Structure 1
Amino acid sequence: MSLNEAQVRAALAGLSDPHTGLDLVAQGSVRGVGLDGADIAVELLLGYPARGWHQALAGIVRERLAALPGAGKVTVSVGSRVQAHRVQKDLTPLPQVRNIIAVASGKGGVGKSTTAVNLALALQAEGATVGVLDADIYGPSIPKMLGLSGKPDSPDGKSIEPKRGHGLQAMSIGLLIGEDTPMIWRGPMVTQALQQLLGDTRWDGLDYLVIDLPPGTGDIQLTLAQRIPVSGAVIVTTPQDIATLDARKALQMFNKVEVPVLGIVENMAVHVCSNCGHAEHVFGAGGGEAMAAQYGVPLLGSLPLDIRIREQADGGTPTVAADPEAPLALAYRDIARRAAARLSLQARNKSLPNIVISNT
């Protein structure tokens, strides 16, 4: 009995994508099925960057299809395409930015900026073109984390060229002022400055622009969330009750402005002693998981309290750039895949074209 396409698709429908929770057929990743006698060729196209998972996925699919009765040689190609997704009503996506992902926290000190820059680097490591905008006007830290110095160029006196750090396109108020210069501005001035940084920067064909928002949920944050065309948000918290209490407010802020929350990142979840290996939950345990369950959003991942994360960010080479294949970097990359996969399930902005494809 010879195989047919329906049998192949049925087999693929039994394979779930761990990043989306859907099977490969349901999420539209099966781009083509070819049969040549007993030989099978399958082309898969994911809606999010997943370079680090392509090979493993191809292996899983080959194994599943090779087990079909009468199957011969199985060939699987896996690629990714990033598309533009819908933003808040009455707002229009930027011409050179397909998706904006806001990274927010309810309070400071939870590692939001470190998470934002490593998320951006992780998305890039997975095959996307990525930029990062430092929206923390009062406490810009992205320039130091990316090892950037000097003022950005302005070719026409109006627009600004983004600085480049570890492959990322980056912009921050910290690049325009002295490192120790305080920004003594009221809310409206901050909002205007951020909008200018966002709109006047000459972003070049970004799949994702990661915005590191200031901590909190006050007037400034709400105004920014209403005026910036955001495709999705990631909430960063630590497990402790006080942090998750404030993080809940950040999550609700995005709900109010109709920005999908892609998930929660639990930072500083556990500390493992570098001398004896003893693991201790310094800031409590399970806070991020409980919050995710309460609001029906995914826990994208938990990150440890590890001195290397701090040292690498302070040194201008964040964890994902310092060693992309190390366990800590792989944890960030898994979070990036999960966040981007969640975004890929959102409604698309049909006014913008599909552009980026990477195949393995």
Structure 2
Amino acid sequence: MSTSELPDDPHEAVREALSEVSVPGIESDLISAGVVYEIDLHGGNLTVIVDISPYPAASDENVMTAILEVTEAIPGIENVQVEQAGPDAELRTSVEDFDRVIAVASAKGGVGKSTVATHLAAALAADDDVALFDADVHGPNVDRILDVDGPVYATDDGNPIPIAHDGLELMGIGLLQSDVPLAWRGAMVHDAVSDLFGDTAWRSDGTLVIDLPPGTGDVVLTTLQDVPVDGLIVVTTPFHTSVADTNRTIDLFLDEGVPVLGAVVNMAEFTCDHCGEPNDLFEDNLSDLSTEVLATLPFEAEFQERPEVGSAPDGVRDLAEAIETEFDALAAYEPPADAVDIRGLDPEPRRDRVRETFETLESGEQFRVVSDRDPTPIRQYLANLAEVEPAAIEPFEVRRKSPDAWELTTVRP
């Protein structure tokens, strides 16, 4: 094995070497055929995880021998190990199997949302099992940021298998429609995203990071309908119109019951190469932002580099730590003392507890319920108890306070 220094981009050197490897039973090279599931490189220690299950005519021994021969010749590679990826039986086709789902959104395009989402996923993957879903249908570019190509293969049941890259799993429309302009209408977008959310065969089950399209259109609403989003990160610049539009995006997610973890302020400043002084790119309007700032990221070249697991920029590491703190706070949620807590109850006791408390209130008194699912349907029940139309139960505010706690606040008419 070589004792020289590793190439400047060792992952790319390994990919290039494997892209030259062909073995009997596989019609193209190992990279193009999707046989290479993951390349894990730490110093001079290389692990190549392969999946040849789509190619029953191929020999495990031939694949392993070919990989060893080409990778051991790469300068700086000292130890090589070839492992088989887990069988399809370990794949999961429900996003509900993830421990948590984090959505990354922005009100406007061009604020660095996809860059933040990709760097965040790589940072979280240093300590967790992480998958990244690119739902930005009209401008998918997470695969380009990570420099990942298809093809995407499927299980025997036709479920698309995400591409593994440097400790991450990746799926998105961009991998299925490479270099094809996407001029889809609403129904087509809805169906495509819903199908991918429902059918993708994930191996990961820790954290799913979703890169949403900018704005509050069909794909965002589809995500809220199809996916149990546990927390939202909004990305904005300090520019006043970006902050104002971001506040409207936050309101949408809150109305849909999604906890807002906070904001990432991107491109906040840049440091002059000549004088070394920091300079603001925008006038600071962050005092108008309606959520906590979790991280402030500068306009620097390191954020334009390919994200790698275990080597996140300082600001992204700060963001990952802040997110963990926010989730800890959500998990520690305690309902208000005056709230009716119906979590964990069967349907009849839930109704009884709501009725008993609501009927003791005078007109105009506040009524609050904490539930383990969206309590919006309670509005009709309260209207029946008060013998009024549902619209008379006003104000009627529902907020998701934690992954397992929704809080309803209204008054007795």
Question: Aligning the two structures, in what range does the TM-score lie when normalised by the shorter sequence?
Answer: 0.5 to 0.7
Match of 1:305 among 299, 319, 329: 299
Q: Name the count of aligned residue pairs.
A: 242
Distance 1:145 1:172, change over 3 A: same
SS in 2 for 1:189: helix
**1:175 corresponding residue in structure 2:** 175
Higher relative contact order (CA 8 A, sep 6+): 1
Is 1:344 the equivalent of 2:312? Answer: no
Matches within 5 A, 1:131-146: 131-146=131-146
Kept in 2, the 8 Å contact 1:146–1:166? The answer is no
Matches within 5 A, 1:51-200: 94-125=95-126, 127-179=127-179, 181-200=180-199
Is 1:212 the equivalent of 2:199? Answer: no
**2:338 corresponding residue in structure 1:** none
More displaced 10-residue stretch of structure 1: 236-245 or 341-350:
341-350
Matches within 5 A, 1:241-280: 241-280=240-279
Could you list the structure 1 runs, at least 4 aligned residues long, displaced by more than 4 angstroms after superposition: 347-351
**2:27 corresponding residue in structure 1:** none
CA distance, structure 2, for counterparts of residue 272 and residue 191 of structure 1: 42
**1:324 corresponding residue in structure 2:** 311
CA displacement 1:102-146 (0-9 Å, x = unmatched): 000000010000000011111112x11111000001110011111
Q: How far did 1:206 drift?
A: 2.4
Q: How far did 1:340 drift?
A: 2.5
Kept in 2, the 8 Å contact 1:134–1:172? The answer is yes
Kept in 1, the 8 Å contact 2:162–2:200? The answer is yes
CA displacement 1:130-166 (0-9 Å, x = unmatched): 1100000111001111111121111214211110122
Q: How far did 1:307 drift?
A: 2.6
Q: How far did 1:258 drift?
A: 0.6
Kept in 1, the 8 Å contact 2:189–2:218? The answer is no
CA distance, structure 1, for counterparts of residue 264 and residue 220 of structure 2: 19
RMSD: 2.2
Distance 1:124 1:291, change over 3 A: farther
Larger Rg: 2
Distance 1:223 1:94, change over 3 A: closer
SS in 2 for 1:150: coil
- Alignment-mate amino acid for residue 244 of structure 2: L
SS in 2 for 1:140: coil
- Alignment-mate amino acid for residue 164 of structure 2: R
CA distance, structure 1, for counterparts of residue 213 and residue 266 of structure 2: 17
- Alignment-mate amino acid for residue 301 of structure 1: A
SS in 2 for 1:206: coil
CA distance, structure 1, for counterparts of residue 198 and residue 274 of structure 2: 48
Kept in 1, the 8 Å contact 2:118–2:142? The answer is yes
- Alignment-mate amino acid for residue 311 of structure 2: P
CA distance, structure 2, for counterparts of residue 148 and residue 198 of structure 1: 20
- Alignment-mate amino acid for residue 169 of structure 1: E
- Alignment-mate amino acid for residue 133 of structure 1: F
CA distance, structure 1, for counterparts of residue 211 and residue 184 of structure 2: 19
Kept in 2, the 8 Å contact 1:234–1:264? The answer is yes
- Alignment-mate amino acid for residue 189 of structure 1: M
**1:28 corresponding residue in structure 2:** none
- Alignment-mate amino acid for residue 101 of structure 1: I
- List alignment gaps of at least 5 residues for structure 1: 1-92, 352-360
Q: How far did 1:199 drift?
A: 1.8
- List alignment gaps of at least 5 residues for structure 2: 1-93, 333-342, 345-371, 373-413
More displaced 10-residue stretch of structure 1: 151-160 or 263-272:
151-160
CA displacement 1:179-228 (0-9 Å, x = unmatched): 2x111211121122112212211112321100000001134423332332
CA displacement 1:269-299 (0-9 Å, x = unmatched): 11101222121111222x34x244xx3x321
CA distance, structure 2, for counterparts of residue 178 and residue 227 of structure 1: 25
CA distance, structure 2, for counterparts of residue 344 and residue 193 of structure 1: 34
Kept in 1, the 8 Å contact 2:100–2:208? The answer is yes
CA distance, structure 1, for counterparts of residue 248 and residue 223 of structure 2: 15
CA displacement 1:294-320 (0-9 Å, x = unmatched): x3x32101000113312x1xxxx22x5
**2:8 corresponding residue in structure 1:** none
- Alignment-mate amino acid for residue 105 of structure 2: A
Match of 1:334 among 318, 343, 362: 318
Kept in 2, the 8 Å contact 1:324–1:330? The answer is no
Taking structure 1 as the reference length, the TM-score comes to: 0.63
CA distance, structure 2, for counterparts of residue 129 and residue 178 of structure 1: 26
Taking structure 2 as the reference length, the TM-score comes to: 0.55
Q: How far did 1:341 drift?
A: 2.2
- Alignment-mate amino acid for residue 330 of structure 1: D
Percentage of pairs with the same residue: 38
- Alignment-mate amino acid for residue 203 of structure 1: W
Kept in 1, the 8 Å contact 2:267–2:299? The answer is yes
SS in 1 for 2:125: helix
More displaced 10-residue stretch of structure 1: 274-283 or 261-270:
274-283
